[in-house]
Structure 1
Amino acid sequence: MFCAAPHLLLHRCFSTYTRPHPSSITVRSSSSLQEIHESTPVSKEQGGLSSQLYASIPFPPIKAAKRVVLVRHGQSTWNEEGRIQGSSNFSVLTQKGEAQAETSRQMLVDDAFDVCFSSPLIRSKRTAEIIWGTRKEGIITDSDLREIDLYSFQGLLKHEGKAKFGAAFRQWQMDAPNFNIDGHYPVRELWARARSCWTKILTHESKSVLVVAHNAVNQALVATAIGLGTEYFRILLQSNCGASVLDFTPQADGGLPYIRLNRLNQTPSSPVAGGSSAGRKTSKRIILVCHGSQANTEVSFPNLGDQPMNMLGLIQAQKTAELLLDLKVSCIISSPKIASVETATTISRVQEAADCLGADCVPRYVEMKQMQDLDLEKILGQSKQASI
């Protein structure tokens, strides 16, 4: 089903998941373009082990709806050098990193944040200061938001880590959830720490929260929120200054909140440029696209109904199609809803015509499919299968 070329998924909402504790999660992509990259394989055996780390502590109930925006720090000096940072505190933002943070500030300028939580590490704290700007409220630093602890690996260039640690470094690359160094399991510790962070964030009296931290810890925050275990480490990569948004909605009976992933790794730069994510090359890509604006804009999710796109939506779909011109999309999977099909059709037509400039050329065929429900685990699992 999946091949090396990018696939587009156009849906309004993913299916609902239930974690080991009775909290339901809805995963939604609502920004124009989102991207999931294949990285490490998912192991059912690992899943059972990692699930225990976050299932043991239920999410606290909340009284009012809360939005949490997670942002990774801008490019750091050690990012630029290719050095393993972990939770060390020796790198600072590069000039590019400062510019990325400023772009993120502009991207989030309309968000009325009540509070900002930040990692205490210099690269994240500086990013938080730039995005937070002139707001009067102070930034809350939390050591649990520091980057993953990589112990003896920290400070090494990647080729140095490979030469010095051999098998251990290979395990870190190939089987991170079970990777052990200096008597520690860094990824498992990170997942447990992320759950602790959520308790502090959700019990804080605020409705709109900015969290500025790091790639790995932000992955863990997203994963633990939507019920994914440590086997998803490196699947939900966070780019420099990439933003992910989660919405928490209280239940009427005061139970555990509903959790919706609204945006995943929305970056200041093009989300489809360069064929890489967070500096890592990828062989398979799934691009998530939200349909354009609909005719009935006054009705909010999830009861929007089956409405066609309005004029703004048609323009948005065309602009998205143009943004994807540099990619050779082989398949588009869409919801059967009218707006999703319209958006998919627009992208398909542009893709098929992209390589056909001469009178005698034959347009490239883009396969189109419709699917009522998109199951996140099924999608990620299928993306690892060989092309058929």
Structure 2
Amino acid sequence: MATLILVRHGRSTANTAGVLAGWTPGVHLDERGAAQAAGLPGRLADVSLAAVVSSPLERCAQTLRPLLDARRELEPRTDDRIGECHYGDWSGRKLRELADDPLMEVVQNHPSAAVFPGGESMRAMQARAVDAVREWNARVDAEHGEDAAYLMCSHGDIIKAIVADALGIHLDLFQRIHVEPCSVTAIRYTRTRPFLLRLGDTGDLGSLAPRGGGDRGADGAAVVGGGSGAP
């Protein structure tokens, strides 16, 4: 079956500001995010892509633009199912303001029970994203053969949820997974099991160095929405 290349969008203005963007319109890549996107064609130069699928949000379209400019043969498709989690009333709010909300403890420790006010549950988020992957796997296999690879550009929590499904781990453990902005995660699907080939690969192992504060949060808390990446 197909190999899925998952790309998280480059660093956005919301990431830098510590805002949970969700589906808020007008969120774009910041200067560093644009540079990350510009480097994507070179990082993927040796990977033949049968298809490119994107979240409909602007920051994903911007991330893909340099790659699509370099590979004019690719016709991008959009799929709402790999769009960001619908955070509802939390959208557009500062993460530090949300830290003391009782729901945050559920999001951190029992995400399968988390339902965002005015938004969706994290279970629904994972289900729609995994359904999209399954359908695109079948489509790419049928149109391009089982050795084909295709790319999806999506968001931190979506990618983490897809990885959790591929690893067969419960959604309540998905906060243990971390993906940097514009990182590449690769999953090869087979008839019997998926294989995680890359996870959050930025092409720069400097991001593994210890760093204070930032995205890691206090007491090992995961950053909802994915965070802004290494400084």
The CA distance in 2 between the partners of 1:105 and 1:210, in whole Å, is: 12
TM-superposed deviation, 1:66: 2.0
Aligned to 1:195: 130
Of 247, 262, 274 in structure 1, the residue corresponding to residue 188 of structure 2 is: 247
Matches within 5 A, 1:129-208: 129-135=65-71, 136-162=73-99, 166-182=101-117, 186-204=121-139, 205-206=143-144, 207-208=148-149
Does 2:155 align with 1:214?
A: yes
Structure 1 CA distance for aligned equivalents of residues 84 and 136 of structure 2: 17
SS of the residue aligned with 1:233? helix
Pairwise CA distance, 1:273: 2.8
- How far, CA to CA, are the matches of 1:169 and 1:72 in structure 2? 23
**Gap runs ≥5 in structure 2:** 221-231
1:182-240 CA distance string (max 9 Å, x none): 36652111111122112221112231101111101111111212322211222121110
| CA 167–277 in structure 1, closer or farther in 2 if over 3 Å, else same | closer
1:93, distance to aligned residue in structure 2 (A):
0.5
1:265 corresponds, among 190, 200, 218, to: 200
Distance in 1 between residues matched to 2:159 and 2:29, nearest whole Å: 18
Q: Which letter maps to 1:66?
A: A
1:114-159 Cα distance to aligned partner (Å, 9 max, x none): 1101101000111122223332221011000101111100000123
Relative to 1, partners in 2 of residues 1:282 and 1:197: Cα closer, same or farther, differing over 3 Å? farther
**Residue in 2 aligned with 1:223?**
164
Alignment deviations for residues 319-346 of structure 1 (CA, whole Å, 9 cap, x no partner): xxxxxxxxxxxxxxxxxxxxxxxxxxxx
Q: Distance in 1 between matches of 2:192 and 2:125?
A: 23
In 2: Cα distance, 1:187 partner to 1:121 partner: 19
Letter in 2 for 1:110: D
Shift of 1:88: 2.5
The alpha-carbon deviation at position 277 of structure 1 amounts to 10
Aligned partners of 2:69 and 2:208: how far apart in 1?
29
After superposition, residues 40-59 of structure 1 pair within 5 angstroms as none
Aligned partners of 1:84 and 1:158 also within 8 Å: yes
Query: 1-side partners of 2:59 and 2:32: how far apart?
Result: 12
One-letter code aligned to 1:188: R
Q: Which of residues 96, 118, 124 is equivalent to 2:32?
A: 96
The letter for the 2-side match of 1:236 is: I
The residue that corresponds to 1:105 in the other structure is 41
| Bigger mean CA deviation after superposition, 123-132 or 267-276 | 267-276
Amino acid in the other structure paired with 1:217: I
Change in CA separation of 1:130 and 1:274 when aligned onto 2, cut-off 3 Å: farther
Q: Give unmatched runs, 5+ long, in structure 1.
A: 1-64, 250-255, 285-388
1:336-351 maps to which residues of 2 (within 5 A)? none
Instruction: Name the counterpart of 1:85.
Output: 21
| Cα distance per residue 1:249-288 (max 9 Å; x no partner) | 3xxxxxx34321111110143231343798224878xxxx
- Structure 1 Cα separation of the partners of residues 173 and 203 of structure 2: 24
Distance 1:279 1:162, change over 3 A: closer
* Runs of 4+ in structure 1 over 4 Å off: 281-284
3-state DSSP of counterpart to 1:234: helix
Cross-structure match for 2:224: none
1:353-379 C-alpha deviation (Å, 9 max, x unpaired): xxxxxxxxxxxxxxxxxxxxxxxxxxx
Check whether the contact 2:13–2:30 (CA below 8 A) recurs between aligned residues. Answer: yes
Q: Larger Cα Rg: Structure 1 or Structure 2?
A: 1
In structure 2, the CA distance between the partners of 1:113 and 1:276, relative to structure 1 (3 Å rule), is farther
> Distance in 2 between the 1:257 and 1:189 partners?
24
- Kept in 2, the 8 Å contact 1:237–1:278? The answer is no
Amino acid at match of 2:153: V
Summarize the Cα distance change of 1:275–1:283 in structure 2 as closer, same or farther, 3 Å threshold: farther
Bigger mean CA offset, 273-282 vs 173-182: 273-282
Contact in 2 for aligned 1:73/1:123 (Cα 8 Å)? yes
The correspondence of residues 284-303 of structure 1 with structure 2, limited to 5 A, is none
Structure ranking higher in helix proportion: 2
Q: 1:174 to 1:257 in 2, by over 3 A?
A: closer
RMSD of the alignment, in Å?
A: 2.3
The amino acid that maps onto 1:242 is S
TM-score, scaled relative to structure 1 = 0.51
Give me the whole-angstrom Cα distance separating, in 2, the residues matched to 1:281 and 1:200.
35
How many residues are treated as equivalent by the alignment? Answer: 212
